[in-house]
Amino acid sequence: MRLGDLGEFELIARIERAARRAGSPRFVVLGIGDDAAILRLRSGEDLVVTTDSLVEDVHFRWRSQSARTIGRRALVANLSDLAAMGARPLGFTLALVTPASLEVATLDGLVAGLLREARRHGCPLVGGNVSRGTECSLTITALGAVRRGRALTRRGVRRGDRLFVTGTVGGPALELARAERGLGQIRRVPQPRLEAGRALTRVKQIGGCIDISDGLDADLDHLLETTRLAAEVAAERIPLPRGFRAACRKLGLEPERLARTGGEDYELLFSVRPAGPGAGALARRLGVAVTEIGRLRAAAAVQESRPGPAPHGGFRHF
Amino acid sequence: MRLGDLGEFELIARIERAARRAGSPRFVVLGIGDDAAILRLRSGEDLVVTTDSLVEDVHFRWRSQSARTIGRRALVANLSDLAAMGARPLGFTLALVTPASLEVATLDGLVAGLLREARRHGCPLVGGNVSRGTECSLTITALGAVRRGRALTRRGVRRGDRLFVTGTVGGPALELARAERGLGQIRRVPQPRLEAGRALTRVKQIGGCIDISDGLDADLDHLLETTRLAAEVAAERIPLPRGFRAACRKLGLEPERLARTGGEDYELLFSVRPAGPGAGALARRLGVAVTEIGRLRAAAAVQESRPGPAPHGGFRHF
C-alpha cells in the first residue's frame, strides 16, 4: 500500500498514533495534534533549537540503508546539535515531504526509526507537517533546554586552547563507502553525545564546542570561522576505530583523509583552556573516550598540514 | 546568478547577514550561526512550537506570486499557528531545500519576505539549514511563549459554546482563484492574528481555538475532531469581504462555498462559553472585527448543511 491510498488524514493519524504509543515525558504539556505543541522548561533554563534536513538522493539513498536506519539517523543528526550545546532534549517536530507513491511500510519504517531514538534519548515527537513533493525529505527541528548561561557554543574558543575529540572518527564514513560500493547496507547509527555535552557544561575551563557532522576538518573550520585562530592538529593522534586503517586500504581509501573528511561521526570536538583538565580527567567526567588532538594558535602561526587538496572536506550542497 | 554559482557557504553567509541586519530582540541569547540557537523565555511561560512547509507547485507557483510574497506567506502560516495558541513569537528556523539552479535574486526575495514579516511581528530568524533538492521547499518552525496554563487549544471546546470568527474569510481564496486564471499575481498577505490570540488567553469564558489555514469547514472539523460535537453554522452570518460575492460570480465561483473551503485566511475560529462575552465585547478586547457564526451541539443533534459534496474542503496532500 502506498501513501496515496492511505490519504492525508489517515497518514497524519498514523504518525500521531505511533508518537502517542512512544509516550512522552511530563514536560510535554501538549503533544502532537493541535496547532502547536506546548513544552515546559525548568526555571533558570534557556531554550535551544536546531534544524536539519535529510533529502532523498542527497543525504540518503533508499537502497543503501533501511527506512528505519534513515529515520534513526535523521533524529540523531539533530540530537547531536543539542549535545554540542550541552542541552538536554525536550522534543522534536517532523516536516515530512514525500511523493504519494511512497510505500506505507517505508513511512512506518522511518517513523519507527525516529521514535526509537526519540524514546532512547527522551526526545518525543511533538508536532509536524506532511506535504506532497516529488522527492522525500525529512526536516527535523529539535528543541532542548540548557542551564541559563551555560550552553556550549563555538564562540568559546580562545588562543592556546587544547583541542579534544570524543570517541573515534571515520567509522560512519567507512560504512558509507562500503555501502556505496555495494558491500552491505549502513546499519550502525552513531549516537549523539548528549551526556558528554551536558557534562562539558560543568567543566569550568571549557572553550568552544561543535559536533562532527560535516567531517573533522570542515567542522574545525566552522568552530574557528569567526575567529583569527587556526588549529594545529597532530594527525597521528586522531582517534580511529579499531581495524580502520586495514579496512580503508582494502577499499583503496586513505585512512587519515577519510577520517578527517567523512562526517556524520557525531562526536564532540571541543577546546579546553591550557589550565583545564587533560584527556584522562575529561574522559572520566564525560563518560566517554577523549583524545587530545591539537591546539589553537593565532592563524598566522599555523602551517596547515591537511591531506588532499580541498580546503574543507565535507559534502557541499551548492 | 544562480545558487550553484554562489556555493553553499556563501549562500548560508548571505542568509545569515540578512538575518543579522534584520536585528533580533533581547530574548535571543544566541542567534543564527552556531550549532543551535538559544532563546530565553520569561519565568512562568511555556514554550509553543509549530512547523509548516511550503512546497513548490504544491503550496506555491513561482509564476503566480513574487518570491517575496512566498517568503512572507511562509512565515505568516506559522505565526498564525502561534496566534491560535495565544502565544507571543520568539523566533523561527528555516530549512530551505532548493535546486542549485534557483536564481540568487529569487532566494533574496524569499529571505526578504520572510524577514519583513519577522521584523513586523518580532519573530527573528534564529537558525536553519540549506540543502540541495530537485524542487524548492521552505520548512519553518516557529517558536513562541505563552503564560503557563493559558494557551488556547482545540481541546477547550464544550457543548453549547458559541462559535466566533475574526475578520472575514474567503479573500485569499478569491485572490488565488484570480491568479490561477491568469488575472494578476497574489499580492495580499493575510496577517496572523497574534494580538487577538493573546487577548483571547485573557478571556475567562474562552473555549477552543484554531486558525483558519485549510478552510473554515476543514478547520472546524479539526477543532472538533476529538470531540462528539458538531457545529451548527449560520451560513448567512459567515463574514465575507466587501464585494466578495460579486467578484466570485464574475469568475463563476459560488461565494459561500469558496469562503468555507478556500483556506489561508489566517483568521481565528474560536468558541466561547454561553455566558461569555458577545461579538461586540470580543471585538473591543481583541482589536479586530468578530462575528458570531454558530454554536456547538452534540454531534447527533446537528443536521449538517454544507455546500458541495466534500466533507472537508481544504487541500488534501494524499
Taking CB atoms and an 8 Å limit, are A4 and B95 in contact across chains?
Answer: no
Which of B7, B36, B55 shows the shortest C-beta gap to A97? B55
Residues in chain A closer than 8 A to B9 (CB atoms): 316
How many residues does this entry show for chain A?
A: 318
> What is the pLDDT at residue A301?
64
Q: Which CATH class is domain B154-301?
A: alpha beta
> What is the pLDDT at residue B312?
44
CATH 3.30.1330.10 location in chain A: 10-147
Taking CB atoms and an 8 Å limit, are A40 and B48 in contact across chains?
Answer: no
CATH 3.90.650.10 location in chain A: 154-301
Residues in chain A closer than 8 A to B143 (CB atoms): 47, 49, 143
pTM for the model = 0.91
CA dihedral A310, A312, A315, A318 (to 10 degrees): -90
Distance (Å) from the alpha carbon of B31 to chain A's nearest alpha carbon: 10
Q: Which residue ranges of chain B lie beneath pLDDT 70?
A: 301-315
The DSSP annotation for chain A comes to -BHHHH-HHHHHHHHHHHHHHT---TTEEE-TTSSSEEE-PPTTEEEEEEEEEEEBTTTB-GGGB-HHHHHHHHHHHHHHHHHHHTPEEEEEEEEEEE-TTSBHHHHHHHHHHHHHHHHHTT--EEEEEEEE-SS-EEEEEEEEEEETT----GGG--TT-EEEEES-SSHHHHHHHHHHTTS--B---PPP-HHHHHHHTT-TTEEEEEE-SS-HHHHHHHHHTTSSEEEEE-GGGS---TTHHHHHHHTT--HHHHHHH------EEEEE-TTS--HHHHHHHHTS-EEEEEEEEEGGG-----SSS-SS-S----
The residue of A32, A47, A88, A154 whose CB has the most chain B CBs within 10 angstroms, and thus the best one to mutate to test that interface, is: A47
Taking CB atoms and an 8 Å limit, are A85 and B146 in contact across chains?
Answer: no
**H or E element: which one contains B284?**
helix B279-286
Q: Which residue ranges of chain A lie beneath pLDDT 70?
A: 301-315
> What is the pLDDT at residue B314?
55
Taking CB atoms and an 8 Å limit, are B52 and A129 in contact across chains?
Answer: yes
> What is the pLDDT at residue B41?
95
Residues in chain B closer than 8 A to A39 (CB atoms): 46-47, 49
| Predicted complex ipTM | 0.90
> What is the pLDDT at residue B101?
95
Taking CB atoms and an 8 Å limit, are A132 and B317 in contact across chains?
Answer: yes
> What is the pLDDT at residue A185?
84
Question: Could you tell me if residue B182 is left (phi over 0), alpha (psi between -120 and 50 degrees) or otherwise beta?
Answer: left
User: Which CATH number applies to A10-147: 3.40.50.620, 3.30.420.40, 3.30.1330.10, 3.30.465.10?
Assistant: 3.30.1330.10
Taking CB atoms and an 8 Å limit, are B40 and A46 in contact across chains?
Answer: yes
> What is the pLDDT at residue A27?
92
Distance CA B211, CA B266 (A): 6
Which of A36, A38, A94 shows the shortest C-beta gap to B81? A36
The CATH code of the domain at B3-147 is 3.30.1330.10
Closest residue of B to A5, CA-based? B318
Distance CA A45, CA A87 (A): 10
